Amino acid sequence: MIIIFLSITFNTILVSGSSLSDQVNQTPAAMYNKPGETAKLNCSHSIQNYDRILWYKQSKNRQIQFLGYVYGNNGYPETGMSVKMDGSANKDETSTLTIEGLSLNSSAVYFCAAKRVGREAYFGGGTRLTVLEPNIDVTPPTVKILQPSLKDCKDKKDKTGKKNKRTLVCVASGFYPDHVSVFWKIEAENVTDGVATDNAALRDGEKYSITSRLRVPARTWHTPGMKFTCIVSFFNGNDTIDHSDSVYGTELGQGEGMTREKYLKITQTAKLSYGVFIAKSSLYGVFVLVLVWKLQASSGKQSN
């Protein structure tokens, strides 16, 4: 019940306090450690008269756990927590959360929040901590864009009478750990409309994969040479490196298989060809009948 209550409180004050969250600075944004090591997270703020720093742990199942707080220059960790809280919670000072004896269960996102009694709390951007599993190397993703499928490219209309959109699928696979973010570009512009990315990377054996989809109007995809790029940012423990793949738009009917217009055109051509064939066959039949009639008539005259 305590965890659920803290989760509700966390979400409420996070939303309500978003206006001054840019004055709360939390570092680093991401970090890797090995089991047994110690991790140090820093938090500072520039909000006048705020004198408390609260620390939270958000596990992968989205539950929130309160770790303790710093008031003035003193730290007050919750009982049973293997953490230390040092530094100062006052304006323009730094508070440090130290997590000792890291284990795989320590992997989580840690948040700090600046607070004052009777006032809202304002959260930092969070620190994503991953405790690496033994014997698994940090591995960047392989990125591949799958072009619109044949079914997707059938130029039909939906219930609103609008032409179907085209769906590009970006698959990032074979990476560890799962510190990735995915975004799309059309030409040099970042795009968010029509983008749907998995909420979290999926584990397959030792590695992870994640999928993102981009839906664009048919006319956009059918602009020859239009560049579509999927970029996957991966934190390798020191830097965040971008890995990407690109495809280019094609003319309608190229590389798509059978579209509706192409199908109708082929069907009409086939019907016309069949009609011409029937007409020619009929004429040929009449010609044969006339020829046979003439041969019979000629044969009768010779008999007489």
Instruction: Give the alpha-carbon dihedral of 200, 208, 140, 232, to 10 degrees.
Output: -30
* In a shared domain, residues 38 and 115: yes
277: its two tokens: 């064939």
pLDDT at res. 149: 76
* In a shared domain, residues 123 and 158: no
* In a shared domain, residues 35 and 86: yes
Q: Which of 20-24, 64-68, 95-99 is predicted least confidently?
A: 20-24
Collapsed DSSP state (helix, strand, coil) of residue 294: helix
CATH number at residue 36: 2.60.40.10
Whether residue 107 lies inside any domain: the answer is yes
* In a shared domain, residues 112 and 168: no
For the chain, the domain total comes to 2
Mean pLDDT for the stretch of residues 182-190: 97
* In a shared domain, residues 157 and 91: no
Mean pLDDT for the stretch of residues 84-88: 96
Determine the straight-line distance between the first and last CA of the chain, rounded to whole angstroms: 119
Q: What is the pLDDT of residues 54-65, one digit of tens each?
A: 999 999 888 899
* In a shared domain, residues 10 and 112: yes
Highest average pLDDT, of 4-18, 122-136, 247-261, comes from 122-136
* In a shared domain, residues 125 and 146: no
* In a shared domain, residues 150 and 199: yes
61: its two tokens: 């199942």
Q: Are 23 and 44 a contacting pair, CB within 8 Å?
A: no
CA-to-CA separations, 169 to 45, 116, 138, 184, in angstroms, rounded: 41, 46, 25, 11
Q: What is the pLDDT of residues 189-205, one digit of tens each?
A: 999 999 999 999 999 99
* In a shared domain, residues 167 and 198: yes
pLDDT at res. 296: 61
Q: Are 199 and 210 a contacting pair, CB within 8 Å?
A: no
Mean pLDDT for the stretch of residues 150-160: 55
* In a shared domain, residues 213 and 192: yes
Q: State which of 208, 224, 248 marks the end of a domain.
A: 248
One-letter amino acid at 99 equals I
User: What is the spatial distance between Cα 286 and Cα 289, in angstroms, rounded to a whole number?
Assistant: 5
Whether residue 137 lies inside any domain: the answer is no
Residue 25 has pLDDT above 50, yes or no: yes
124: its two tokens: 């930092």
Q: State which of 131, 159, 175 marks the end of a domain.
A: 131
* In a shared domain, residues 197 and 121: no
Whether residue 259 lies inside any domain: the answer is no
Whether residue 13 lies inside any domain: the answer is yes
* In a shared domain, residues 37 and 70: yes
Q: Give residue 164's domain range.
A: 142-248
Whether residue 277 lies inside any domain: the answer is no
